[in-house]
A and B are shown apart, each in its own frame.
Chain A
């Protein structure tokens, strides 16, 4: 089976930085995705890592270490609109398109 762990909740102050960790133990690995989901809305794609290292995209960065089965999503200069659930998902194999998700981390940004 697939095991993907991430913290349940995190709280941070507007303007601050928050790091959401994700650890995974899966039958295979061919990419890790981060999605953002506001309540009642569609999960929206944030980032994709398949090689080790850091991918930066504006205020959001994602890091991957395949040897450690570890990723993090870094949110900088937090804004109130960043309050949402953040989902870590792994694609297990090259010809296996389905995603295995963690339970999600609810981030609350306070003024």
Chain B
């Protein structure tokens, strides 16, 4: 079974440009999450999808970030225009919906996209 895959693995762009990150969750996982880790800091939550709906976007830093999950499968995270402080590693994770007692909602992570804004 394929894990969570993210593309690209690394992106280098100039300030003011646009970048789109893609995440393919584990097949059958309705929950999809975006997280970000900036240099020297902890991983922080950005956004949570349930299927194609945004369940929680409380972590999105500002309106330069736009996440979509059309059709409830893969997701994209677009940064437009990119600023220097957007540099970091962007992680995607997915998990199943609860189906039984004792569900633990294990989130499975991708390897991340390292974004460098120059």
Contacts and interface: CB of A to CB of B under 8 A. Distances in A.
8 contacts: A31-B105, A33-B106, A42-B91, A42-B109, A89-B43, A97-B33, A98-B45, A98-B59
Contacts of A35: 109
Contacts of B31: 97
Contacts of B109: 35, 42-44
Please name the 3 residue pairs, one residue from A and one from B, whose CB atoms are nearest each other, closest first. Answer: A98-B45, A101-B43, A103-B42
Interface residues of A, number: 24
A40 B9 CA distance: 9
A102 B107 CA distance: 16
Contacts, number: 57
A68 B35 CA distance: 28
Contacts of B111: 40-42
Interface residues of B, number: 26
Interface in B24-62: 31, 33, 35, 41-45, 48, 55-56, 58-59
A42 B31 CA distance: 18
